[in-house]
Each structure stands twice: as structure tokens, then as C-alpha cells.
Amino acid sequence: MDDDDFLYPSDDEDNYYYSDDEGVDEEEVASRESIETPEKLLKQWNSKEYAHIIECFPSLKYNIRCAQLEILKRTIKALYNGKMTILIQAPTGVGKSAISYTVLVFSEYGYVCSSTKALQEQILGDYSDLVRAYGRANFTCLRRGINPKTKKPYNCEHGACQVLKESCPLKPTFKKTPWKAYFSVKDHKQKYWQIDPKKTRVCPYWESKATALNNFAVVHNYSYILAEANHAREFTTRLVLIGDEAHNIESKIIDFIKIPITLDHLDVINKFLDADQKVRFVKTDKDMPNFTKMRLYAAWVTDLSNKIPVVQDRIKAEAMKAMDEREELQTKLAECVKKKEKWPEEEKRDLAERLEAKEMRLEDLFDIQNKIDKLMKRQINFYLKDIAVHLENWVVKVEEDKLFGIKRIEFQPIEISQYAKGLYFRLGIVNILQSATILDPVRFCTRLGLDPNPNVTEYIEIEPNFPVENHKIFNLNWADFGQCKNETTETTETEEELEDFYRRVIERIDIIIDLFPDERGIIHATSYPIAEYFMKYSKHANWRLTFHGKEDRTEKLEEHKEKKGSVLVSPSMTEGVDLKDDLSRFQILIKIPFPDMSDERVKARMAKDTEGYYYETAVTLIQSIGRSVRSEKDHAITFCLDNRMPGFIRLNRNIMDLYTRYLCPTWEIKKLDNLKDKPEVAKLLTQKIKRPKKEAEKLMDKKKRKYSKLF
């Protein structure tokens, strides 16, 4: 198979575990036949009884719960009935990690995928016999030394075998030795270490990878498994593939196949092209139909892809020349050091400086080479192959600068249902998808290219067991927060009027914060501009509020955990954050988290599927309110400020049950312990905040309707 064939697997790809034995010695044949393939294990699985899966539960660590028993029982029943896809919607606190572990032990051959490295580590911390698989960037190369730019060791992503394109003695190969590394299912052969790993340290990346390939179960994150399984392809199909936080699979696949091309890319490419060959971003008319626009961009990308091989050859030629010159300088410098009395100090210094400059240039060339190789092999080739069939499924997002024009374009698929099996789901004969927010199993399956037919797919739903009094939600309905063109409503407000509106909102939010003087909480700000208003106008900005940017999210979360009375102000902690117990006793949802309608993909998707737009909103909304109540005994109060919420609930009642079950009447706010002796504060918190232009627009609409009735 070529590097690009991962898009459309051949009909016999599922049988890559077997091949003829020509040219393979008897020991290799025996080794291959002893491998427990997914097909063999599936037969064993179906011969087991229900009691066997209960025996696999980690009972030494945990007592099995009723919900866990129900999930495991229904899972086995579904498998016996031939259902190879199982959806599990279960709330926080059910113990989904223990369920995953039980299924992995029962299957004897599987993967579990998480959405972040932090969740990966959490699973690994609970179960010591599971192993992780991480990408090259997480390991230090033992052969390349120190990066002259960063003064830090090179990681394996920029290791000797990657940039120097030379064979590495520290990684496993097919050459037979006494030291087995792992059996390569992809190549149907045993691989061996070329040195004794017990006496000499081998490549840490390959050591970790070999350990994972040999283990019965591996914990991946989605980003790594998508990249590895579709490029290196050492991790192949196993009996079971468990997707944790499965509502993220669609966005992870989009991230994997989208194609960002930046001005930096073009600048680098153009340095190696002749003047008449240089590439410029193509400009399109804003009113141009998407299909016409994508045909124009397809021609542009095709032209770019034809020029990249020329660039790659020229980079390689310059790098080879630079390596020869570096070797010559190294020889001279070694001679200089050896015969120091014959070489002037100034000449030695000059040689050292020239050698360092050559090292820096080589490093630049290696970086450029990797960047272009990744763009071409992993992204452009996918796009060019797919647009021949699905051109209408792509949109392009353009970022422009007033001074410099276009600085970035990004090609994105509108839907990924046609790619999901070839890229991800093929890695499991049985696919188990877990999430607290599946909400609508038919829509969930359709978006991922799975068959929603109940004869094929089992849907297991566990009702939340948190007491309502521990998870109260109040819709305060302060105002219509739809202030930008990227949402369902528009406004004619100026920036100054909008800022003044948020100033008044934040002054009111400060009152809520005052009700919890020593307790932590979180404010879901939905965007960085809104978070900046808090920095500017909240009286708590310099004391209680904890802000984070795009790069320091983890550090600020740890700071919040250590600081008494801290209140997180975050545009991006709607999921993947565990604010259990005292880490959050209240949360404020400023506005409904509608997807950004200024995004070309979101706009195109909504044009195809309006209900899907609201479905995405509901998933984010319910994930948001789940940050602060993490168990039956945990408790927190949620305040929603957006007066569009009642209407949103009415329109989407079938997918909002996980919100409405905790919704309390607004008048009950005065019964809260924090407000029992403060009736005037309770009254203030339920008053609306007027937006002059909004009110004027509504009045004008009312007059228009009244006037139209006269005719």
C-alpha cells in the first residue's frame, strides 16, 4: 500500500494479519501463528459466559456499582446478538474507566482512546497493567545531541532517523538477533533489537512503542492513534476499540485531515523556487458559490503540490552540501584542537563560529524539510485524492491582515462521516463509544458514519443519579447575549455600547461572586474578548479571578486549585476539567455556547443540517454545567444569564433533559442559603439588564407588525 492509501482501504485490508510464508523461516511462521488475531479472539469472546466479564472487573480496587453491572451485562448481550457498535451514555461518577478496563481485560486485545494526554495519564494511574502510546515529540533522541537553537536535547520527532534519514542502531529492525522487540502485524514479521536492551539503552520512543505493541491493551489519545494508524500503521486492528469522551471524535478527525497553509509555508517554499515559479495565495470573490470557489482552490493546491517536489529536491541538495561542509569544518577543528600550538587562537575561533553557523543552517533545513514533508504527505495528498470525489464537502477558511493581506488559509471538511471508518473505526472489530453527552444516538451515529439501526448498534443510557438539590440550575434571563454576527441574532450596537453592556453585566456578576466569599467557582466566558472585559471591569480581577490564555491553561488550573476563593474565568474549560468538591461550588454560564457562525465550516454545516447546529450547542452546554458536580455527594449551583435559554430549551427539548432535570424556578433563588437574609439581592439577581438598541429594535418590529395588519 502507498503512503496515501489509508484514505480508502482495500477490500482485503482487514486480512493483513495473514500472508503466504514464502521467504519466512519456520520460527517466524510459528511466531505469526501464535499471534492472537482479533478474529480468533472474537470467537473466544463469544464462547465466554457473562460471569467471565464480571471476573475481569478490578474488584480489588473498587466495589462494582449497579450502573457498571448494567452496562457490562448489556454490552455482553449486545455482542452475543451480533452488534459490533455499542454507544454508552453515562454520567460523571459512574466509573467509565473501570468499565473500559474490564472490557479490555475480557477482550484480551484492545485499545482505549482519550481526548487529552491528561485523561490518558488518569487512566494509566488507575491501572498499572495498561500502557500508553505517545508520539515522538515526547521522547529525547539519544543520538542527535543538543539543538544549537534551543540549547536543549532534540526530541525524537527531530531525531537522527527523521532528519538525517539514516538507519538508527537503537531502533528495532527485521535483522535477526537474540533480542526480540515485537511482532509487526503490519509486516507479518518479528522485529529485533540490534543491541541488548538490558545492557545498552535503546531508543526511548521505540522502547515505549514496542512495549505498547506487545501489551494486551494500550491507552492512546485520539491525535496520536489517528496519525500513527494512518501513517506508520504499526498499530493495527484489534478486537475492541473504546472511545472515551466520544463526542470529540468528529472534531479530532477534522483536526487530523484539515489543511492549514500559512504565509510562512509559502515564504519557505518560495525561497527554493525560481522567480517565475513562486506561489501566491489565490483570491476569490466573497459572493462566489462555494463549489466554484473550491474548484479554484483545488487548481491552486494542485499547482502547489506539483512545485513541492522541486523544493524538496533543492532542500535535500543544499542539506547534503551543508553536511559535507560541516564534516570538513569538524575535521579542521579537531586538527586545530590537537595541534593547538600551530593554530592561531583567532583561526580556531573562526572555525568554531563557522561550524556553529553551519549547524544552525542545517537545523533550519531539517525544520523546513519536516514542515514541507508533513504538509505534502499527510495533508495535501489526502485533500487532492478526496476532492476528486467529494469536492462539495470542503470549505476554505481565510484569515486576512489589513496590512499584509491573506496570512493563512485552511481547508476543512464539512462532514467526516465518509472518512471515519477508514481513518478510525477500522481499528476495532467491536467499537464501544462512551460519553456523558450522546443525547441523540441516531444523530450521533449519522455524524460519525455509523449505522444507527438498533439491530446493528446498541444504545445504553444510564440515568444521572445526582440529587437535584445538589445540582441546581437557575436561568436568570438577564439579557439577550446574542451580540455578534456569529450567532443566531445580530445587533447594530457599536463596540462602545457593547463594552458598556458587559460592564453592567460584570458588575452584576460580582454580586454573585460576593455570595460565595471563600468558595471557588468558574465563569464560562465563551470567548477571550469577554474574559478581557472581566479583567477590565470586575472588582475581583486582581484578587479572586484566575484568567488563562491559550498556552497556560494547565498552569492556571493548578493555580486555581491552590488559591482559596479562586474563580476561574475561562472561554475553553467546557470539558476535560474536573472541578470536584471544593474546587467549584458555583458556576456562571454567561451565554449559550452556539458554534461560531463566522466559521465557514459551521456555516456550511448549518445550511445542511440546522438541527445539528443546535445539537452541537447542547453538547457543549451540558458538558459545561458538568464541570462542578462530579459525584452523588458533590454539590454546586449554576447560574445561566442568557434570556435565550428558555427558547432554546423549547426548541430542543428532546436533547436538553440533562439540563432541564436540574432546572429550578427563578423565584426559588431566594431560598438559597446564601440569599435567605438578602431579599433585595435576590430581587436584583432576577432583574433584566437592558440593551437600548435591542429594546428599540424590538419596539420597531412590534410597530411594523401592527402596521402591516392594516393592509
Q: pLDDT per residue over 654-688, tens digit each?
A: 999 999 999 999 999 999 988 988 999 999 999 99
Cell numbers that stand for 239 in this block: 478486537
Residues 194-225 pLDDT 10s:
999 999 999 999 999 999 999 999 999 999 99
Question: What DSSP letter does each residue of 507-532 carry, written as one string?
Answer: HHHHHHHHTSTT--EEEE-SSHHHHH
Question: Is residue 92 in a domain?
Answer: no
Spatial separation of the C-alpha atoms in residues 390 and 392, rounded to whole Å: 5
Question: Is residue 549 in a domain?
Answer: yes
Question: Is residue 152 in a domain?
Answer: yes
Residue 270 burial by Cβ neighbours in a 10 Å radius (0-12, 13-18, 19+): middle
More confident residue, 340 or 366: 366
Question: Is residue 255 in a domain?
Answer: no
Provide the edge-to-edge strand list for the sheet that holds 521-524.
545-547, 567-570, 521-524, 586-589, 637-642, 473-479, 663-664
Output the pLDDT for position 61: 78
Domain boundary among 156, 181, 208: 208
Residues 406-453 pLDDT 10s:
999 999 999 999 999 999 999 999 999 999 999 999 999 999 999 999
Question: Is residue 23 in a domain?
Answer: no
- Does 16 have pLDDT greater than 80? no
Residue 432 burial by Cβ neighbours in a 10 Å radius (0-12, 13-18, 19+): buried
Q: How confident is the model at residue 488 (pLDDT cuts 50, 70, 90)?
A: very low
Question: Is residue 711 in a domain?
Answer: no
Q: Say how many domains are in the chain.
A: 2
Question: Is residue 626 in a domain?
Answer: yes
- HSE at residue 240, side-chain half, CA atoms within 13 A, is 31
| Integer CA distances (angstroms), 159 to 47, 140, 142, 323, in order | 47, 8, 8, 16
Question: Is residue 678 in a domain?
Answer: yes
Cell numbers that stand for 627 in this block: 464541570
Spatial separation of the C-alpha atoms in residues 396 and 282, rounded to whole Å: 12
| Integer CA distances (angstroms), 393 to 254, 292, 415, 416, 676, in order | 12, 13, 7, 9, 56
Residue 424 burial by Cβ neighbours in a 10 Å radius (0-12, 13-18, 19+): buried
Question: What DSSP letter does each residue of 347-387 carry, written as one string?
Answer: HHHHHHHHHHHHHHHHHHHHHHHHHHHIIIIIIIHHHHHHH
- Does 299 have pLDDT greater than 80? yes
Q: Give me the domain span that covers residue 527.
A: 468-702
Which stretch, 140-149, 289-298, 366-375, has highest mean pLDDT? 289-298
Are the C-beta atoms of residues 478 and 685 closer than 8 Å to each other? no
pTM of whole model > 0.85? yes
Domain boundary among 157, 190, 208: 208
Spatial separation of the C-alpha atoms in residues 125 and 129, rounded to whole Å: 10
Average pLDDT over residues 481-508: 74
Spatial separation of the C-alpha atoms in residues 244 and 437, rounded to whole Å: 11
Residues 20-52 pLDDT 10s:
333 445 554 444 444 556 666 666 666 666 678
Domain boundary among 208, 230, 264: 208
Spatial separation of the C-alpha atoms in residues 50 and 612, rounded to whole Å: 38
The domain spanning residue 602 has which CATH number? 3.40.50.300
263-270 helix and 345-373 helix, angle to the nearest 10 degrees: 120
